[in-house]
Amino acid sequence: MLLLSCSIMKHSSRKVEIIAKASHLFKEKGYSAVTVRDIAQAMGIKAASLYNHIQSKQEILSVLVMDLARTFTDGMNSILVSKGTPLQKIESLIEMHIDITVNQSEALAALNNDWMHMPEDDVVAFVRMREAYEENFRKIIKQGIESGEIKPRHPEVILFSILSTLRTLYLWYQKRGKLDVNVLKRDMVAVLIEGMV
């Protein structure tokens, strides 16, 4: 799967470096606890120099979060129109989340915890995208229940259980010394779908 974090040349290479370093700091302490001086120090330059490349601290956050949100939305859309049973689509969604986790674990932290500190407009757009994403996921689960492929349980509980596992996977993927991606996918799909008994 191809995961382009931003369209070509939308940002200068230096800007991309800053965003990368910043996202790493954001993951450790959260957006609000990271100062522009922290980011500058990580880059080996002075705080004021950052402003040759970025417009504001908030802009870094917005680029991080909104780019990743679009990645999720695009992924969901292509899975939606793909052929396959609901269960196979859920499998694809799980694999997509794992791919994104492996490639963008830093940005995932910001998306999960710091989206509310973006400028108002982006917050609105973000929440809309997230709701649409969840609604699509919910529909797939309901289809699976209707077709008898999935046990007739509260769809909300299934949705929540899968999504919260996938959304916090980035926390574990770093701690547990980088498990092999394919092994992780296999085990994760098995546990989430077939359960443990």
Partner DNA sequence: ACACAAAACTAACATTTGTTAGTTTGAAAA
Partner DNA sequence: TTTTCAAACTAACAAATGTTAGTTTTGTGT
Site for a copy of itself in 115-154 (CB under 8 A): 116-117, 144, 149-151, 153-154
Beta carbon nearer to a copy of itself, 14 or 138: 138
Distance of CA 194 to the CA centre of its chain: 24
Among 57, 70, 142, 167, binds DNA (CB under 7 A): 57
Task: Choose from a copy of itself, DNA, none: what does 152 bind? Cβ within 5-8 Å by kind.
Answer: none
Among 3, 16, 42, 47, binds DNA (CB under 7 A): 47
Distance of CA 92 to the CA centre of its chain: 15
What sign has the CA pseudo-torsion 70, 72, 75, 79? negative
Least Å distance, CB 9 to DNA, is: 13
126 vs 26: CA distance, rounded Å: 18
Q: Is 56 in the site for DNA (CB under 7 A)?
A: yes
151 vs 156: CA distance, rounded Å: 13
Task: Choose from DNA, a copy of itself, none: what does 151 bind? Cβ within 5-8 Å by kind.
Answer: a copy of itself
Q: Is 114 in the site for a copy of itself (CB under 8 A)?
A: yes
8 vs 56: CA distance, rounded Å: 21
Task: Choose from DNA, a copy of itself, none: what does 150 bind? Cβ within 5-8 Å by kind.
Answer: a copy of itself
- H helix count then E strand count, the chain: 9, 0
Task: Choose from DNA, a copy of itself, none: what does 167 bind? Cβ within 5-8 Å by kind.
Answer: a copy of itself
Q: How wide is the angle at C-alpha 167 spanned by C-alphas 82 and 159, nearest 5°?
A: 60
Q: Could you give the string, one character per residue 56-95, with x where binding to a copy of itself holds by CB under 8 A and - elsewhere? A: -------------------------------x--------
Nearest to 158, CA basis, from 166, 173, 95, 132: 166
